[in-house]
């Protein structure tokens, strides 16, 4: 069987989607949710990012140009980064348990998770997704995948801002201390 990075990456993203779908049924009841306008804007960015990154209709002109050489090392590194990123995101999602939601929410009996991947960064699901998208961009090699990564980064930074506000309001000094000790997305950096 030949090594087909696009197929492998598609299956990795599909597996992550299944984990998210199944996990949605285990979430606690919501006590507070971000505004519908905020969520709609974030969801729009997400859909546009994934459409540009994965829909062949965007494989045109400048968007279709390669930004890295077509070497096996680059492509393999991209597949590996996608796998590692998705594993981090899934690990974080499972660790979050019933506190998880696709929208920024506070759950009934919400708990502050600080172990596992949450001991390395405050938003490991997002870190993992960004690493996976970077890996996908390397493996697919097209400018459109960098555009998708950029859009996803913007969306996640907006979402983080809202989440941080909710967490500070809910957990106060405990969250402030956690924020001082643990970076948001990239260990030791940001």
107 CB neighbour count, 10 Å cutoff? 19
pLDDT for 80-131, tens place per residue? 999 999 999 999 999 998 899 888 999 999 999 999 999 999 999 999 999 9
In CATH, the number for domain 5-181 is 1.20.120.1630
What value does the mean pLDDT of the chain take? 93
- Kindly write down the DSSP assignment for every residue of 130-144, as one continuous string: HHHHHHHHHHH-BHH
- Tell me, yes or no, if the pTM score tops 0.75: yes
DSSP code of residue 49 = H
Is the pLDDT assigned to residue 150 strictly greater than 90? yes
Reported as a pLDDT band with limits 50, 70 and 90, residue 132 is: very high
C-alpha torsion 136→141→147→149, nearest 10: 20
Residue spans per domain, the chain? 5-181
Kindly state the average pLDDT of the residues 31-41.
Answer: 93
Task: For residue 111, give every residue at least 6 positions away whose Cβ sits within 8 Å of its Cβ, in sequence order, or none.
Answer: 99
Residue 27 CA to residue 122 CA, distance in Å, equals 19
Reported as a pLDDT band with limits 50, 70 and 90, residue 22 is: confident
């Amino acid at each position: 069987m030949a090594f087909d990075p696009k197929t492998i990456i598609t299956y990795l993203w599909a597996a992550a989607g299944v984990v998210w779908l199944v996990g949605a049924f285990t979430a606690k009841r919501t006590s507070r949710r971000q505004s519908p306008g905020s969520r709609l804007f974030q969801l729009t960015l997400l859909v546009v990012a994934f459409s540009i990154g994965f829909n062949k209709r965007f494989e045109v002109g400048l968007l279709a140009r390669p930004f890295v050489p077509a070497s096996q090392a680059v492509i393999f590194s991209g597949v590996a980064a996608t796998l590692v990123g998705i594993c981090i995101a899934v690990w974080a999602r499972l660790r979050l348990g019933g506190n998880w939601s696709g929208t920024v929410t506070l759950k009934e009996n919400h708990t502050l998770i600080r172990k596992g991947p949450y001991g390395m960064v405050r938003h490991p699901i997002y870190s993992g997704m960004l690493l996976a998208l970077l890996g996908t961009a390397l493996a697919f090699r097209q400018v459109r995948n960098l555009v998708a990564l950029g859009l996803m980064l913007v969306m996640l930074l907006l979402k983080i801002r809202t989440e941080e506000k909710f967490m500070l309001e809910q957990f106060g000094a405990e969250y402030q201390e956690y924020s001082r000790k643990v970076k948001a997305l990239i260990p030791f950096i940001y």
